[in-house]
Amino acid sequence: MPPLNRPLTPCDYVVFGGTGDLAMRKLLPSLFQRDRGEQLPPEDRIIGVSRQAMSDDRYVAMAEEGMRRHMKPDEFDPAVWDRFSGRLHHAAIDATGESGWPELAETLGAAPDRVRMFYLATAPDLFGPICERLQAAGLVTEQSRVVLEKPIGHDLYSARCINERVGAVFSEHQIFRIDHYVGKETVQNLMALRFANVLFQPLWNSTSIDHVQITVAETIGVESRGGYYDHSGALRDMVQNHLLQLLCLVAMEPPLHLDKDSVRDEKLKVLRALKPIGRDQVPACTVRGQYRAGAVDGAAVRGYLEESGIAPDSGTETFVALRVDVQNWRWTGVPFYLRTGKRLQQKVSEIVIQFKPVPYSIFPPTSGELAANRLVLRLQPDEAVRLHLMAKEPGPGGMRLREVPLNLSFAETFKHPVSDAYVRLLGDVVRGDPTLFMRRDEVEAAWVWTESILEAWQTRGEPPKPYIAGTWGPSTAIAMIERDGRTWHEDVGGGQ
């Protein structure tokens, strides 16, 4: 079936952080893609907000340069650009001061009934002040929505403060806390795989599953985000949100319906079932790493401490590996191994469901060793679902068995390019559908558990383990899983 190209309700997109990295890398390119797919009504406007004054023309030029840098040449269609650039405007606003708000009110006031999306691609400490200013300027209508980029705060306390302040201005149904991992096609396919097929349903528990691995590996370093990252680290930047969301989607019970509360209720139960990692479990269940100079994709790269914006004696982790226990009826006894890091050998995100071995082998030793079945969801790149099974090798020589994958490659099967998660998620905001966004209680539950680790790390005061850029992280991450008699999935680097 061809994709549905339904234009959305008319909307004014107001992007705070409109000249920033996220706007150029993801938000404007995703809106451009929607425009290209005839999904933006002609009257839609995109207002980039930043502190410095500039003309619309200057903003358009800046957007063109930034978007071309981040989009593939064949995505940047000049005919669409002519139309798209006409939608772009700039507003100079001091987020914590008085200037610029009346002008924004005047611009938006021309279409009071239109959907208004206030996208806050700023530091989280500005979320509260911006929302309060929006309210004071009379800009918050029934049709308004606010989108909060992660991280929502720095810890549980700051997350609660943000949620309070934003919640005093917008109702929960107007608040969209984005986690772009949930919008990725393959992540949604995890729901399709689990709940649109009967095959895995009886196997999806501790009786048949040995363990689960979730890897989100990146080759990039901290880029231009040193100032933010050095105060965050991999646990806050990636685990508290993206990896926990993936874990929730693997572990949750079937929701009653595919609607906002059913899905989020089930994810919340998983978050609440995570066993806290205390001080004594730190050595066995956590690994923190920090990259040193090395080579990635054949190019020499500097170490974390030499990156700009990083304190020379920084103890921030750029790699985390965890062994996580989900304490409930379905999952007790099934460890979830999570790992993520920057400057690793390969950019790859995968979920691996490792099944248990067959209870008894009827085959003689000459047949070869029986590998337990494995389901691999490759989120990026080369989106695919692979089910590794044992099969008989054809031909003479007796019953020789070999592990082979049943391979569902999305590119080959659907012949439709996988679009960026933001394309889908921005559409959901306009439609007012928060199913794929974090509810307040979810974010806070994720922080409760994350804080158990942060506190345990703090009390032990151990520095992160160094690893060479371009490897798979500290060797202790390999030792952690091997102590349990398991190994990281070999296709994504089981060794240094």
Q: Is residue 60 within 8 Å of 46, Cβ to Cβ?
A: no
Q: Which DSSP letter does residue 364 get?
A: -
Cα–Cα distance measured from residue 408 to residue 405, given in angstroms and rounded to the nearest whole number: 9
| Residue 350 makes contact with ligand BG6 by CB under 6 A | no
> From the CB of 314, what's the least distance to ligand BG6, in Å?
16
> From the CB of 483, what's the least distance to ligand BG6, in Å?
28
> From the CB of 427, what's the least distance to ligand BG6, in Å?
18
The one catalytic residue in 242, 257, 388, 489 is 242
Q: Which is nearer to ligand BG6, 71 or 88 (CB)?
A: 71
Q: Is residue 318 within 8 Å of 289, Cβ to Cβ?
A: yes
Interface size with ligand BG6, residues (CB under 6 A)? 4
Which residue's Cβ has the minimum distance to ligand BG6?
237
Q: Which is nearer to ligand BG6, 188 or 328 (CB)?
A: 188
Q: Which is nearer to ligand BG6, 102 or 227 (CB)?
A: 227
One-letter amino acid for residue 93 of the chain: I
Q: Which is nearer to ligand BG6, 286 or 318 (CB)?
A: 318
Q: Which is nearer to ligand BG6, 349 or 373 (CB)?
A: 349
Q: Which is nearer to ligand BG6, 26 or 36 (CB)?
A: 26
Cα–Cα distance measured from residue 242 to residue 330, given in angstroms and rounded to the nearest whole number: 22
240: Cα within 13 Å, side-chain hemisphere: 27
Active site residue 242: yes
Cα–Cα distance measured from residue 232 to residue 155, given in angstroms and rounded to the nearest whole number: 10
> From the CB of 46, what's the least distance to ligand BG6, in Å?
22
State the DSSP string of 17-47: TTTSHHIIIIIHHHHHHHHHTT-S-TT-EEE
Among 185, 237, 317, 350, binds ligand BG6 (CB under 6 A): 237
> From the CB of 295, what's the least distance to ligand BG6, in Å?
20
The pair of three-digit structure tokens given for residue 167, joined into one six-digit string: 């919640």
> From the CB of 93, what's the least distance to ligand BG6, in Å?
24
155: CB partners within 8 A, 6+ apart: 447, 451, 454
97: CB partners within 8 A, 6+ apart: none
State the DSSP string of 256-314: SSSSHHHHHHHHHHHHHHBPP--GGGHHHHEEEEEEESEEETTEEE--GGGSTT--TT-
The pair of three-digit structure tokens given for residue 306, joined into one six-digit string: 């030499």
Sign of CA dihedral 160, 269, 329, 339: negative
Considering only residues 146 to 175 of the shown chain, the ones binding ligand BG6 according to CB under 6 A are 150
At 382 the three-state DSSP class reads coil
Q: Which is nearer to ligand BG6, 27 or 60 (CB)?
A: 27
Nearest by Cα to 105 from 134, 144, 129: 134
| Residue 317 makes contact with ligand BG6 by CB under 6 A | no
| Residue 218 makes contact with ligand BG6 by CB under 6 A | yes
> From the CB of 48, what's the least distance to ligand BG6, in Å?
20
Cα–Cα distance measured from residue 125 to residue 152, given in angstroms and rounded to the nearest whole number: 9
Residue 389 CA, chain-centre distance (Å), reads: 29
Q: Which is nearer to ligand BG6, 21 or 265 (CB)?
A: 21
The pair of three-digit structure tokens given for residue 253, joined into one six-digit string: 């019970």
Cα–Cα distance measured from residue 412 to residue 429, given in angstroms and rounded to the nearest whole number: 30
58: CB partners within 8 A, 6+ apart: 90
| Residue 307 makes contact with ligand BG6 by CB under 6 A | no
> From the CB of 219, what's the least distance to ligand BG6, in Å?
10
List interacting residues with ligand BG6 (CB under 6 A).
150, 218, 237, 349
Give the residue numbers annotated as catalytic, written as ranges.
242
